[in-house]
Amino acid sequence: MPWSRIKPDTNEPDFLSDAMPGGPDGRRITYAEAVNEALSQALALDPRVFVMGQGVDDPSGMFGATRGLHLRHGRERVFDTPLAETALSGVAVGAALGGMRPVYFHNRPDFLLLAMDQLVNHAAKWHYMFGGAACVPLVFWACIGRGWGSAAQHSQALQGLFNHVPGLKLVMPATCFDAKGLMLAAIADDNPVLIIDHRMNFRQRGIVPETPYTVPLGRGVVRRRGRDVTVVAVSHLLAEAFAAAQELAAEEGVEAEIIDPRTLRPLDEELILASVARTGRLVVADTGWKTGGVAAEIAAMVAEKGFDSLRAPVVRVCNPDLPTPSGYTLERAYYVGKDEIKAGILKAARG
């Protein structure tokens, strides 16, 4: 769609350097290229890895994430599928049980709901239900495609739904470095892992080392230090929160500490609690819905385990509890971003 070039190529903000160990061989590449490189290296290094999904060998290659993989690694290991998400999710589970490491791509999270039965009722349960006798090492991937009028069934941020399920790991990267490192970690993990990417990150450029490396699942990172308010920002809202914090520091002298959780389940609780212990205030910004979602869970966790640190009510910055409207004036009113996060930080700081 012509207007869907929603974000031009941009460089990532200069997040804290210890949070982005680019190393000497780091180059600036796009987020899509980082995912592509991770997949290509995983395919090259481990014969058990294969990539499947409707359109993985299309000319567009899942926004570039899978482009050319079938040419480099063969159609046997990188293949298009029928539009049969329910059965093929089960096929992926079976293939994982059978000794392979499938990576199943869906270009929108909405289609994962067809896979929900196999993902929630089967993949997430198998290891536990059989006393640890079997495991399901697979990666499901989907990308939120917001901002181009695609309406209520093509741009849902469903992480809250999946975050609810024990036995499933949930990853939402926000930087190019993590996009590669978390993908490689997810593929190496012996459990079902769901990676939800955000289309708004796909054309951003960041430092990514060429050699294969992993970013550990379950470990968050501080992206900006600040004494006044802790902001936990998920996925592409990390960049928005970072910008909000820089502006507020200049405009109001309020210093926000920005945390990128990277993995939502398991969640790096210690990192968040330690930060809230320093600042006494918490803002959670999530690209999904507020009620019963990821922000609700993080807020509840801090209320439960860090209540004594809190000096003000927790503030959640989320999209309204509504399906996504199609029209662009409605979309603009719907999505939260930098301004809403700024308001949230000020509210927490003054609360």
Partner 1 sequence: MLRIRRVQERIESEYMGDEMKTPVHLYIGQEAIASGVCAVLRDEDAVNGNHRGHGHYLAKGGDLKAMIAELFCRSTGCSKGFGGSMHLVDTAHGNMGTSAIVGGGIPIGTGQALAFQMRRLDRVSVVFFGDGAADEGTFYESVNFAMLKRLPVVYVMENNGWAVCSSTASRQCAENVFHRGADPELLFTARIDGNDPELVRAAAEKAVARARAGLGPSFIECATYRILGHAGCLQQDPKGYRDPAEVEAWRERCPVRTYRDRLLEGGLLDPSALDRMEAEIAAEIDAAFAFARTSPLPTADDLHTNLFRG
Ligand X SMILES: Cc1ncc(C[n+]2csc(CCOP(=O)(O)OP(=O)(O)O)c2C)c(N)n1
Q: Interface with ligand X by CB under 6 A: which residues?
A: 54, 83, 85, 111, 114
Site mask for partner 1 (CB under 8 A), range 282-311, x = bound: ------------------------------
Question: For 347, how many CA atoms within 13 A lie in the half-sphere containing its CB?
Answer: 15
The nearer residue to ligand X, 85 or 260, going by C-beta atoms, is 85
Tell me, by CB under 8 A, how many residues bind partner 1: 42
What is the helix (H) or strand (E) element at residue 112, kind and residue range?
helix 112-116
127 as an active site residue: the answer is: no
Query: What does the alpha-carbon distance between residue 248 and residue 254 come to, in Å, rounded to a whole number?
Result: 6
Say which entry of partner 1, ligand X, none residue 80 contacts (CB below 5 to 8 A, set by partner kind).
partner 1
Residue 217, classified by CB atoms within 10 Å of its CB into exposed (0-12), middle (13-18) or buried (19+), is buried
**Interface with partner 1 in residues 320-349 (CB under 8 A):** 320-323, 325-330, 332-334
Query: What does the alpha-carbon distance between residue 10 and residue 53 come to, in Å, rounded to a whole number?
Result: 28
Query: What does the alpha-carbon distance between residue 224 and residue 12 come to, in Å, rounded to a whole number?
Result: 13
The nearer residue to ligand X, 54 or 279, going by C-beta atoms, is 54
**Interface with partner 1 in residues 108-137 (CB under 8 A):** 110-111, 113-114
The distance of closest approach from Cβ of residue 200 to partner 1 in the complex, given in angstroms and rounded to an integer, is 16
Chain centre to alpha carbon of residue 78:
23
Residue 46, classified by CB atoms within 10 Å of its CB into exposed (0-12), middle (13-18) or buried (19+), is middle
The distance of closest approach from Cβ of residue 232 to partner 1 in the complex, given in angstroms and rounded to an integer, is 26
Determine, following the binding rule CB under 8 A, whether residue 81 of this chain makes contact with partner 1. Answer: yes
Determine, following the binding rule CB under 8 A, whether residue 2 of this chain makes contact with partner 1. Answer: yes
Determine, following the binding rule CB under 8 A, whether residue 105 of this chain makes contact with partner 1. Answer: no
**Interface with partner 1 in residues 9-68 (CB under 8 A):** 54-55, 57-60
The residue from 154, 164, 198, 236 that is catalytic is: 154
Other C-beta atoms lying within 10 Å of the C-beta of residue 333: 10
Say which entry of ligand X, partner 1, none residue 150 contacts (CB below 5 to 8 A, set by partner kind).
partner 1
Query: What does the alpha-carbon distance between residue 131 and residue 148 come to, in Å, rounded to a whole number?
Result: 46
The distance of closest approach from Cβ of residue 53 to ligand X in the complex, given in angstroms and rounded to an integer, is 10
Query: What does the alpha-carbon distance between residue 66 and residue 53 come to, in Å, rounded to a whole number?
Result: 10
The nearer residue to ligand X, 157 or 341, going by C-beta atoms, is 157
The neighbouring-strand residues paired with 52 are 79, 104
Closest CA to 230 of 292, 159, 310: 310
The distance of closest approach from Cβ of residue 218 to partner 1 in the complex, given in angstroms and rounded to an integer, is 32
Query: What does the alpha-carbon distance between residue 20 and residue 351 come to, in Å, rounded to a whole number?
Result: 33
* Location of structure tokens 């909405």: 110
Task: Out of 23, 153, 225, 291, point to the residue binding partner 1 (CB under 8 A).
Answer: 153
The distance of closest approach from Cβ of residue 80 to partner 1 in the complex, given in angstroms and rounded to an integer, is 5
The distance of closest approach from Cβ of residue 66 to ligand X in the complex, given in angstroms and rounded to an integer, is 15
* Token reading at 17: 């350097």
Transcribe 277-312 into DSSP letters: HHHS-EEEEEEEESTTSHHHHHHHHHHHHSGGG-SS
Site mask for partner 1 (CB under 8 A), range 246-285, x = bound: ----------------------------------------
Query: What does the alpha-carbon distance between residue 221 and residue 232 come to, in Å, rounded to a whole number?
Result: 10
The nearer residue to ligand X, 89 or 287, going by C-beta atoms, is 89
* Residue ranges in contact with partner 1 by CB under 8 A: 1-4, 54-55, 57-60, 80-87, 110-111, 113-114, 148-154, 320-323, 325-330, 332-334
Q: Which residues are catalytic?
A: 154
